[in-house]
Structure 1
Amino acid sequence: MIRVSVLTLASLYLLRVYRQRQRTTRIRGPQSPNWLFGFAKTLLDSTATTELYQQWATEYGPVFKVPGVFGQSKVILWDPKAISHFFARDTWLYNQTPFNKIAVRNTIGRGVLWADGESHKRQRKALNPAFSAAAIRSLTYVLHDAAHKTVIAWDGEIESNQITHCAVIDVQRWMNHISLDSAGIGILSHDFGALDGNDSDVLHVLNAFSSSSDVSNNLVILAQNFPSILKLPLPRTQFARRFTLIIGKICQEMLSRTRKEKETGGAEQGDKSCLGLLLKAEKSGESAGLTPQEALDEARVLLLAGFETTAGNWALVELAQNPGIQTKLRDECLEFGPTPSYDDLTNKLPYLDAVVNEVLRLHAPLKEIPRSATQEDVIPLSEPMRTAAGNFTESVCIPKGTVVVIPLAALNCSVSMWGPDAKAFKPSRWFEGDEGTHGAREALHGYRHLMTFGDGARMCLGRLFALTEMKAVLFVLVRNFAFEMADGPGVQVVENLGILPRPRVAGSAASSVPLRVRRYEV
Structure 2
Amino acid sequence: MAIVSVLQLALLGAVIWIIRSVYRRLTAKSCLDNLPSPPRKSYLFGNLPQLFSRHAWDFHKDIIRHYGPVTAVSGIFGKKVLYVFDPTALHNIVVKDQYIYEESPLFLQFNGIFFGEGLLSSLGEKHRHQRKILNPVFNINHMRHMTPIFYRITDKLRDAIAWQLKEGPEEIDMLNWMTRTALELIGQGGLGWSFDTLEKPELNPLAEHVKDLVPTVAPLFLLVRFIPFASRIGSPAFRRRVIEMFPNKLVRRALAISDALDQTSKEILRAKRAALAAGDEAVSEQIGEGKDIISVLLKAQMNASEEDKMPDNEILAHMSTFIFAGMETTSGALARILHKLSERQDIQAKLRQEITTARGDRANIPYDELVSLPYMEAVCRETLRLYVDSSYIACPLRNFHLTPLSYSPVTTLNRKTTQDIVMPLSTPVLGRDGRTITDIPLDKGTDLFIGVLGSNINPAIWGEDAEIFKPERWLSALPESLTEAHVPGVYSNLMTFLGGGRACIGFKFSQLEMKVVLSVLIQHFHFDLPDKVIYWNHAGVQYPTADRASERSELPLRVSLAKSA
| TM-score, L = length of structure 2 | 0.80
Instruction: Write out per-residue CA displacement over residues 339-377 of structure 1, whole angstroms, 9 at most, x where no aligned residue.
Output: 212211222x11111111111112212221101111111
2:64 to 48, 54, 66: 54
Q: Which amino acid is 2:555 matched to?
A: V
Q: What is the aligned partner in structure 2 of residue 259 from structure 1?
A: 273
- Rounded to whole Å, the distance in 1 between the matches of 2:228 and 2:120 is 18
Cα offset for 1:403?
A: 0.8
Cα offset for 1:88?
A: 0.9
1:328 to 344, 350, 358: 350
Q: Measured at CA, do residues 28 and 500 of structure 1 come closer, stay the same or move farther in structure 2, by a change above 3 Å?
A: same
- Rounded to whole Å, the distance in 2 between the matches of 1:236 and 1:132 is 39
Q: How does 1:107-506 map to 2 (within 5 A)?
A: 107-159=114-166, 161=167, 165-197=168-200, 199-209=203-213, 211=215, 216-217=218-219, 219-220=220-221, 223=224, 237-266=251-280, 272-279=291-298, 280-281=300-301, 288-310=308-330, 311-336=333-358, 337=360, 338=362, 339-347=364-372, 349-365=373-389, 366-434=410-478, 437-439=481-483, 441-487=485-531, 491-497=532-538, 499-506=540-547
- Rounded to whole Å, the distance in 2 between the matches of 1:297 and 1:75 is 31
Q: Which amino acid is 2:49 matched to?
A: K
- Rounded to whole Å, the distance in 2 between the matches of 1:282 and 1:76 is 45
- Rounded to whole Å, the distance in 2 between the matches of 1:98 and 1:283 is 34
Q: Is the 8 A contact 1:212 1:497 kept in 2?
A: no
Q: Is the 8 A contact 1:319 1:326 kept in 2?
A: yes
Q: Is the 8 A contact 1:284 1:291 kept in 2?
A: no
Cα offset for 1:236?
A: 6.0
- Rounded to whole Å, the distance in 1 between the matches of 2:107 and 2:186 is 25
Q: What is the aligned partner in structure 1 of residue 51 from structure 2?
A: 43
Q: Which amino acid is 1:204 matched to?
A: E
Q: Which amino acid is 2:84 matched to?
A: L
Q: For 1:195, what is the secondary structure of its paired residue?
A: coil
- Rounded to whole Å, the distance in 1 between the matches of 2:440 and 2:322 is 37
Q: Is the 8 A contact 1:364 1:452 kept in 2?
A: yes
- Rounded to whole Å, the distance in 1 between the matches of 2:227 and 2:434 is 34
Q: Is the 8 A contact 2:545 2:555 kept in 1?
A: yes
- Rounded to whole Å, the distance in 2 between the matches of 1:22 and 1:503 is 38
Cα offset for 1:235?
A: 6.5
Cα offset for 1:256?
A: 1.1
- Rounded to whole Å, the distance in 1 between the matches of 2:121 and 2:303 is 19
Q: Is the 8 A contact 1:210 1:511 kept in 2?
A: no
- Rounded to whole Å, the distance in 2 between the matches of 1:332 and 1:240 is 44
Cα offset for 1:422?
A: 2.3
Instruction: Write out per-residue CA displacement over residues 102-150 of structure 1, whole angstroms, 9 at most, x where no aligned residue.
Output: 2211211121111110010011111111111111111011211222111
Structure 2, unmatched stretches of 5+, are 1-27, 232-242, 390-409
- Rounded to whole Å, the distance in 2 between the matches of 1:184 and 1:472 is 16
Q: Is the 8 A contact 1:90 1:456 kept in 2?
A: no
Cα offset for 1:52?
A: 2.4
Cα offset for 1:277?
A: 3.9
Q: Measured at CA, do residues 296 and 126 of structure 1 come closer, stay the same or move farther in structure 2, by a change above 3 Å?
A: same
With 34-43 and 93-102 compared, the bigger mean Cα shift is at: 93-102
| Amino-acid identity (%) | 28
Q: What is the aligned partner in structure 1 of residue 406 from structure 2?
A: none
Q: What is the aligned partner in structure 2 of residue 77 from structure 1?
A: 84
Q: Which amino acid is 1:95 matched to?
A: E
Q: For 1:469, what is the secondary structure of its paired residue?
A: helix
RMSD: 2.9
Q: Measured at CA, do residues 152 and 464 of structure 1 come closer, stay the same or move farther in structure 2, by a change above 3 Å?
A: same
- Rounded to whole Å, the distance in 2 between the matches of 1:120 and 1:105 is 13
Q: What is the aligned partner in structure 1 of residue 41 from structure 2?
A: 33
Cα offset for 1:196?
A: 2.6
Q: Is the 8 A contact 1:142 1:186 kept in 2?
A: yes
Q: Measured at CA, do residues 178 and 92 of structure 1 come closer, stay the same or move farther in structure 2, by a change above 3 Å?
A: same
